[in-house]
Structure 1
Amino acid sequence: MGAFGDHTFRSKRSQAEFEKSFVGKYQRLVKKNSFLYMGLPMMLSLAFASIFMTNLTSLRFERRDARVKELDEDEALKLANIKKRKVNINDEYYKLQGLMDDSKDYEPKRVERLPGETENKLSLLAL
């Protein structure tokens, strides 16, 4: 911007009115001591906002934690009353494979080989 871009033109009368207004008085104070009237209020407002937001968010998380703890205690009471079932490793394996639903009597079998075909088993003597 040019040399005259920062200044707005005011007549003597409007300039006198501007200097008597709050904005004019504040602008004159900022020119005298910019840190005291501009920097310090900005830094204080940021500090107070940080403290306020910390308290606000901690309250929010404390409420959420209390709600989760209540659910956990209820679930613990329910789990204490449930009788535990016995676990069979074969049944669990078949459930994971999805084979229990199709047929209850499923059992893996070896495929029969054609006459003269090798069994593809390694013998200890060959090693």
Structure 2
Amino acid sequence: MSFSGKKFRSRRQQLAYDLSFAGRYQKRMNKNPFLYFGLPFCGLITLASFWLSSFTAVKYEQQDRKIQEMNEEDLVKMKNNQRQFDMKEEYYRLQGLADQDWEQVRVPRRKGESENVW
């Protein structure tokens, strides 16, 4: 046995409901659901996308302000200020080893332990 989703109303309550705004809307929506539900829903989504587009435009405008065209003078200054490139120095800098001052030292072996030299 299953219960229906309809709310029980007495005859008087049903007549009052049918005369109310909700009752008239429910009746019309049951006859033509797209016109009374689908169309307003799609319209709301469309209007909201146009309204929210101004908020997303701000993000892209800020990114555009960061990116600027460079003059020839700026390019020449940038080329002159470049430091010399050394592959080993860059490797150690990227590894974070250039900041540390350390030296590789072999661990002393115990008496009688083999050196494992091949």
- Fold match, TM over 0.5? yes
Q: Residues 57 and 96 (structure 1 numbering): CA distance in 2 closer, same or farther, change over 3 Å?
A: closer
Within a 5 Å distance, the mapping from 1:98-109 to structure 2 comes to none
The answer for the alignment partner of 2:89 in structure 1 is 95
- The one-letter amino acid paired with 1:95 is E
Between the two proteins, what is the percent identity of the paired residues?
A: 29
CA distance in 1, matches of 2:14, 2:57: 50
CA distance in 1, matches of 2:13, 2:89: 88
CA distance in 1, matches of 2:23, 2:41: 19
Give the CA deviation at 1:83. 5.0
Give the CA deviation at 1:64. 3.4
- The one-letter amino acid paired with 2:9 is R
Aligned structure 1 segments of 4 or more residues deviating by more than 4 angstroms: none
Within a 5 Å distance, the mapping from 1:34-113 to structure 2 comes to 34-66=33-65, 68-69=66-67, 80=77, 84=81, 87=84, 92-93=86-87, 95-96=89-90
What residue ranges of structure 2 are gaps of 5+ in the alignment? 93-97, 102-118
CA distance in 2, matches of 1:52, 1:12: 45
- The one-letter amino acid paired with 2:22 is V
Larger radius of gyration: 1
Q: Residues 15 and 83 (structure 1 numbering): CA distance in 2 closer, same or farther, change over 3 Å?
A: same
Q: CA RMSD in A?
A: 3.7
CA distance in 1, matches of 2:6, 2:63: 54
What residue ranges of structure 1 are gaps of 5+ in the alignment? 103-127
| TM-score of the two chains, using structure 2 as the length reference | 0.56
| 1:7 maps to 2:10 | no
* Number of residue pairs aligned between Structure 1 and Structure 2: 94
